[in-house]
Chains A and B, each alone.
Chain A
Amino acid sequence: MKAKIKKLLAELNNFARGKNITAEYLLHAEKSNLIRLANSAVSLNTSEELVKLIVTSRRGRRAGTYSITTDLSAIDRMKSAIVSADEIAQSADEVNYDVTLTPMTQLPDDDVNFDDALVGMNSSEKLDFINKAVGTLETDKIKLSGIFSTGAVWEAVANTLSESVLFHSVSDGQISLELTHSELKWEIAATQSAISKSDLNPEKIQSQLSTLLNIYQNTSPEIIKTGKYDIILSGEALAELIGMMEYIGFSGGLFKRKMSCLRDEHLGKKIFDDKLTIVDDPAVRETFPSVFDYNGNQRSKFTFVENGVFKQFMWDRDSADEFNEKETGHDVSGLSTVISSGNELVSSINDIPENKELTLFIPHLHYMNIVNMTEGIITACSRFGALIFDKENKIRVPFNFRLTDNFFNIFNDIEWISNETVAVNTSNSYGMRSPAAAFVPKFIKLKNISITHVNKSF
């Protein structure tokens, strides 16, 4: 696949140059398989093969983009796509700023994070994994849902200003298994992210599910009161929260457009607890990293927040051009988010240290949305196994509840961060396959968070 894609893109590049077309390309191929479970059965077993070419033709300040789903042998169709993109560019309006397009510097092929064994897993191997992970936890009333998704992405980028073809491939696996009581309607979950087959560990999933199941089966749920609480987030919930903050806080383009919760007055200032450090680090393999972005920029470690201090905005090329800034290698489908671990020796919920105040545990956030972008206010519900740790550290079960607060308060007072970390798969499956994961502490304890709504049932 690698050789085929690189050769093809080089040929397309030659074709465009021959036509005096200035163009840049992304050639994307993917192979996916997803087993979906519901009601303790496989509800869907699906495979997909997709090849997509995206061409942008540039005529100074004018640009046109044309994309096609295609076949790697359909070279004439791809050439037509280049011509079509250029026709669009000819009709397009100029933007009112200069547009950067630079020759790509050839980088070594980025394919070290590709595991044929993971990509080649067949359905029965996946079902074996699921059966091992769930073991005997299913009953007539406790039903299994979830997904086991594996796949691979092969991508190459190039532009007509050089003969370089930069190549990236990665394999990825995402497992999420949920147990639901069909009558009582409570749900618990465990997840796993894999970049190679050896990352898969069904025993770990079973251990997580067993712990929560034991609590949920033996504890009556209760309605908590709205108000301020100390909250422990799992790595999954933390990754989702930070992902949202990256979106509304760290983008230079949004900041310049007055739509960001972080502004220039925050630069260099302490905005969060000093235990919080957030970086984008493509050296961390668990994040399915790419060593270059779609413009061919080599990516390197990039610090957003260091010990609570906001360090810098990230700049995609278009925003950097428009606002006269320097692009930072962030034209990517997903960041390699890494949050530094802490000192608290917490490996599982059994290790949670004694709490001075009644404390809520949120394993997953459901349906997060932005109530107010510039004030950084978000709202989301607890899901998949929330818990109450009372002052004696006795564990109780709450009905789900809604958290509504702003990022400045949420990360203002961090009591502790666990020493252990976990890769949380944050890929979504809209559009093209684009594996993404955050590498974050397994647990974090936050003080004084607003709970604004409580459920009276599951």
Chain B
Amino acid sequence: MNITQKIKVELANLKKKGAEYADARFYPSRETESITFLQGNLKECRSSATTGIGVRVLYNGAWGFASSSLTENLPALFGSAFENAVAASNRLSFPVKLANRKPITAEYSSPRRIDPFDISVSEKLDFLRKIDKKLEHNIVAQRISYVTSDKQKIIFIDTDGSHIEKNICDTFAGMKVIGVEKNGNSQERSYELGGDGFGTRGWEALVSGDKFPENADRIVDELSQILVAESAPKDTRSVILLPGIMFLQTHEVIGHALELDRILGYELSYAGGSFVRLEDFGKLRYGSDKLTVRADGTLPNSPGSYGYDDDGVECQDTVLIDKGILKNAITSRQTIVEANEKAGEKIFEKAGGCARASNFNRIPLERMTNINIDPGNDGSLNDIITSTESGIVLDGARSWSIGSNREQFHFANEIGWLVKDGEKGEVVKNPTYSSDTLPFWRSLSAVGDKSTAELVYVPNCGKGLPSQQMYLGHLIPVCKFDNVKTGE
């Protein structure tokens, strides 16, 4: 018997022992490679290979989970998951039930033309060495560039008869320059590899075109301006957020706030809850009518697109907020049943395909796919600036801190440009802004058109205990918000 056959036998045994449901995720291989240059020195050249199995068992309405990098003794592993579920069922308040879905047999591969693991280390070093050289400048005190690749094969098998094989490959890359002001304080400017949501995302996404060389020149030039700039004003004004910070704004106080497990209280012991209540769906004005947000796992090319989630549900394109009104959430098979029963009405029609685990040794949770904002009708960045009386254009995420129910936030940025009477003016340093969540989104007064939108990759979204770091994306246009507190 091969290992998948053995897994099927063990799953069948769990059913015989009384499990309501069980699934296993087998990672025959997960390869990663990280290369980092720091100030001209190759600081990291590291590869890894991971194998392991995670087993999830539902018994009497309670979850048990066990995982191991040791794949020799499957009966012990599956038995451990079952025992954990039995023990968990001794403290139960709302028995877990899973929304129905048909068993699926499927395969998914992320789009790529060149497998980054087919590229030699030498070639990768050549690429980064050139970037490093490009970042070398007399105003740059430190320069960093990196490439990380991750290739996972995941085999999902469950007791409903699903068998899904996924081959997912992601490449992340970025660069940062740090400079020092006369007073000794440092400033920074960075660039991360992104895309447009289409095409492929193998090694070719990194090396095709001049993305890196062009942006290397840009960030060095912008750093030179920041280093001699005045501090950002401390007042109330319009903020125009470029995709380099708008993605995080969307991520933190729309994405996380709309994870249904958070709304139901499953993350209170760590990440926190949400100000959103079940009775808000269909009614709450989350933002101005310019705001339409979707969780789009079907975007052809993004770390937030993965074919099928770890509940065995196909990825979907779900409208979360429609013209400012809250419509849906980031959901899984478990949470929609619980939410509908607790609300006493069918708020959620079907699982959103958003249950994901970051590795074999973690349990699936509600995770963002691609949380995107639909482009608007307010033209280009220039058009938005022209229509602004007193504002600041902001880019780059330097710091982010969010209230435990995602009800308020504070962001610090790498760079700001003052806007006065429709003109983009001088660069300012140390810009920050903060607000309460709902007043902020309701003050959304302009959404840029398609030309302003960029897909930003997120390689490090943290959540859960034991903690998990997830890959996802945000396709985001430029947005303007009015009457926002800045400079604190």
Shortest beta-carbon distance from B21 to chain A in Å = 15
Q: B66, A43: Cβ atoms under 8 Å?
A: no
Q: B142, A257: Cβ atoms under 8 Å?
A: yes
Contacts of A70 in B (CB 8 A): 69
Q: Does A419 contact B (CB under 8 A)?
A: no
Q: Chain A residue with minimal CB distance to B69?
A: A69
A84–B121 alpha-carbon span in the complex (Å): 12
Q: Chain A residue with minimal CB distance to B86?
A: A123
Shortest beta-carbon distance from B242 to chain A in Å = 19
Q: Does B465 contact A (CB under 8 A)?
A: yes
Q: B466, A45: Cβ atoms under 8 Å?
A: no
Contact with A along B59-92 (1 / 0, CB 8 A): 0001111111111100000001101110111111
Given contacts A39-B265, A45-B84, A48-B68, contact A34 B51 (CB under 8 A): no
Contact with B along A355-388 (1 / 0, CB 8 A): 0000000000011111111110001110100000
Q: A34, B466: Cβ atoms under 8 Å?
A: yes
Q: Does B208 contact A (CB under 8 A)?
A: no
Interface residues of A in 28-69 (CB under 8 A from B): 32, 34-52, 62-69
Q: B66, A455: Cβ atoms under 8 Å?
A: no
Q: A66, B264: Cβ atoms under 8 Å?
A: no
Point out the residue from B65, B401, B402, B430 that lies within 8 Å of A372, measured CB to CB.
B430
Given contacts A41-B91, A92-B125, A371-B432, contact A429 B178 (CB under 8 A): no
Segment at the B interface, from A178-186, A194-202, A205-213: A178-186
Q: Summarize A's interface: helix, strand, loop or mixed.
A: strand
Q: A147, B269: Cβ atoms under 8 Å?
A: yes
Q: B63, A41: Cβ atoms under 8 Å?
A: no
Q: B410, A46: Cβ atoms under 8 Å?
A: no
Q: A371, B88: Cβ atoms under 8 Å?
A: no
Q: A404, B410: Cβ atoms under 8 Å?
A: yes
Q: Chain A residue with minimal CB distance to B57?
A: A45
A313–B89 alpha-carbon span in the complex (Å): 50
Q: Chain B residue with minimal CB distance to A42?
A: B88
A69–B93 alpha-carbon span in the complex (Å): 37
Q: B92, A41: Cβ atoms under 8 Å?
A: yes
A32–B362 alpha-carbon span in the complex (Å): 12
Q: Chain A residue with minimal CB distance to B429?
A: A372
Size band of the B side of the interface?
A: 35 or more
Q: Chain A residue with minimal CB distance to B84?
A: A45
Q: B52, A69: Cβ atoms under 8 Å?
A: yes
Q: Chain A residue with minimal CB distance to B93?
A: A41
Point out the residue from B44, B269, B403 that lies within 8 Å of A400, measured CB to CB.
B403
Shortest beta-carbon distance from A57 to chain B in Å = 10
Q: Summarize B's interface: helix, strand, loop or mixed.
A: mixed
Q: B265, A68: Cβ atoms under 8 Å?
A: no
Q: B266, A38: Cβ atoms under 8 Å?
A: yes
Point out the residue from A95, A124, A258 that lies within 8 Å of B180, measured CB to CB.
A258
Point out the residue from A45, A97, A259 that lies within 8 Å of B87, measured CB to CB.
A45
Q: B121, A88: Cβ atoms under 8 Å?
A: yes
Q: A371, B398: Cβ atoms under 8 Å?
A: yes
Q: Does B343 contact A (CB under 8 A)?
A: no
Q: Does A456 contact B (CB under 8 A)?
A: yes
Contacts of B83 in A (CB 8 A): 123
Q: Chain A residue with minimal CB distance to B436?
A: A456
Contacts of B267 in A (CB 8 A): 38
Segment at the A interface, from B35-43, B105-113, B294-302, B388-396: B35-43
Q: Chain B residue with minimal CB distance to A146?
A: B269
Interface residues of B in 265-313 (CB under 8 A from A): 265-270, 272-273, 275
Q: Does B185 contact A (CB under 8 A)?
A: yes
Q: Does A143 contact B (CB under 8 A)?
A: yes
A32–B141 alpha-carbon span in the complex (Å): 43
Contacts of B122 in A (CB 8 A): 91
A96–B41 alpha-carbon span in the complex (Å): 7
Q: A45, B45: Cβ atoms under 8 Å?
A: no
Q: B62, A381: Cβ atoms under 8 Å?
A: no
Shortest beta-carbon distance from B432 to chain A in Å = 6
Shortest beta-carbon distance from B458 to chain A in Å = 15
Q: B42, A50: Cβ atoms under 8 Å?
A: no
Point out the residue from B70, B87, B142, B469 that lies within 8 Å of A49, measured CB to CB.
B70
Given contacts A39-B266, A67-B46, A373-B186, contact A44 B399 (CB under 8 A): no
A selection of 17 A-B contacts at a CB cut-off of 8 Å is A38-B264, A42-B91, A66-B47, A70-B69, A71-B70, A147-B465, A149-B466, A178-B269, A259-B186, A369-B412, A371-B432, A379-B401, A429-B465, A429-B466, A453-B408, A453-B488, A455-B408
Q: Which residues of B contact A (CB under 8 A)?
A: 39-52, 62-72, 80-81, 83-85, 87-94, 120-122, 125, 129, 141-142, 178, 180, 184-186, 264-270, 272-273, 275, 361, 363, 398-405, 407-408, 410, 412, 430, 432, 434, 436, 462, 465-469, 488
- 7 further A-B contacts with Cβ under 8 Å, apart from A379-B401, A383-B404, are A39-B93, A43-B266, A91-B125, A259-B142, A263-B184, A371-B399, A372-B398
Q: Nearest 8 pairs between A and B by C-beta?
A: A123-B87, A69-B69, A429-B466, A42-B88, A45-B84, A65-B46, A41-B93, A46-B65
